[in-house]
Amino acid sequence: MTTDDNPEQPVVKASNITKQLPGPDGVLTILDGISLQLAEGEVTAILGASGSGKSTLLGLLAGLDEVTRGEIELFGQSLAGLNEDSRAALRAGKVGFVFQSFQLLPGMTALENVMLPLELAGIRNPAIGATEALEQVELGDRLYHYPGQLSGGEQQRVAIARAFASQPKVLFADEPTGSLDQATGSRIIDLLFQMREQTGAALLLVTHDERLAARCDHRLLIEQGRLEQTS
């Protein structure tokens, strides 16, 4: 991961992006002139205090929202001018997500939650791939449990299985250990890195967990919407 100097085709590339939102006292600048790249297989952590704009940056890089200025490329394709559907099509089957609040669908079993990206990608027999993914996160015996019947750690493991089930090229993780205790968080981090290594996906994670950040290839620090430091 570099700020702007990787000669290879990056998986994600942001050039001087700014995000502004209307606020009660006028326009609020959330992100200001950020540029970065994420190469294939790279692992990068975005660090920063609460409200620094980390999650907003992650959402923009994944194409979940539009920038106010600047340009983002995902898999070499500029997101500028793409509507929501075209951005969704670009993500389909190639992007995985892990969220702090797990974002599992409560009405679906663990297996069905993991099957969802495979179904959307049009993969035949999605249950086979989903079962394999759940076995990899050691939840082979919890296939038919609903999220409400699983512990926080187990729910995040289901989310990881869902994120990797479609063999994505890049995984976006937003505070993946934020809702978990330290011991469970450590196991989740191990699992995340283990799965990433198996699939070779690039990983961009937002965290303020220093231990997690220490395991990444690159670390970016955001303060008040600006990229202050990289390592």
Judged by the rule CB under 8 A, the positions of this chain that interact with another protein are 55-56, 58-59, 62, 64-65, 84-85, 88-95, 97, 99, 101, 103, 105-108, 112, 116-117, 119-124, 146-148, 174
Alpha-carbon span 56 to 225, nearest angstrom: 9
Minimum separation from the CB atom of position 214 to another protein (A): 24
- Identify which of residues 52 and 55 has a Cβ nearer to another protein in the complex: 55
* 118 touches 130 (CB < 8 A): yes
Minimum separation from the CB atom of position 231 to another protein (A): 25
- Identify which of residues 22 and 106 has a Cβ nearer to another protein in the complex: 106
Q: How far is CA 37 from the centre of its chain?
A: 15
Q: In terms of DSSP bridges, do strands 170-174 and 202-206 run parallel, antiparallel, or are they unpaired?
A: parallel
Minimum separation from the CB atom of position 201 to another protein (A): 15
Alpha-carbon span 160 to 163, nearest angstrom: 5
- Identify which of residues 3 and 90 has a Cβ nearer to another protein in the complex: 90
3-state secondary structure of 167: coil
- Identify which of residues 56 and 131 has a Cβ nearer to another protein in the complex: 56
Minimum separation from the CB atom of position 6 to another protein (A): 26
Alpha-carbon span 172 to 185, nearest angstrom: 17
